[in-house]
Amino acid sequence: MRELPDQPDLNQLRRQARELHRAAARGEGAASERVHAISPRVTLSSAQLALARELASQVGPGSRPRSSAARSTVLEAQRHAT
């Protein structure tokens, strides 16, 4: 799993979600598994939510985010994914 940078870029997170969606749509194994863990359908919103949940697990209960910018970016990514 990737680490969330100290100053995450929301545009980069959007690109990563689009790349994940495209890879899952092509049937690439790891990408499909990540998206199908969220939904049986391969949609951009499923890819966004998968990415947001992966990143949120880094700032979840019991752990402190490295910066408030990191926490707010993850929360905004989750908001956009739903």
Is 59's pLDDT higher than 60?
A: yes
Query: How far is it, in rounded angstroms, from Cα 65 to Cα 74?
Result: 10
pLDDT tens across 5-19, in order? 777 788 999 999 999
**pLDDT score for 60:** 61
Is 61's pLDDT higher than 70?
A: no
What's the pTM value of the predicted model, to 2 decimals?
0.69
Query: How far is it, in rounded angstroms, from Cα 58 to Cα 2?
Result: 9
Provide the 8-state DSSP code for 72.
H
Q: What is the 3-state secondary structure (H, E, C) of 1-69?
A: CCCCCCCCCHHHHHHHHHHHHHHHHCCCHHHHHHHHCCCCCCCHHHHHHHHHHHHHHHHCCCCCCCCHH
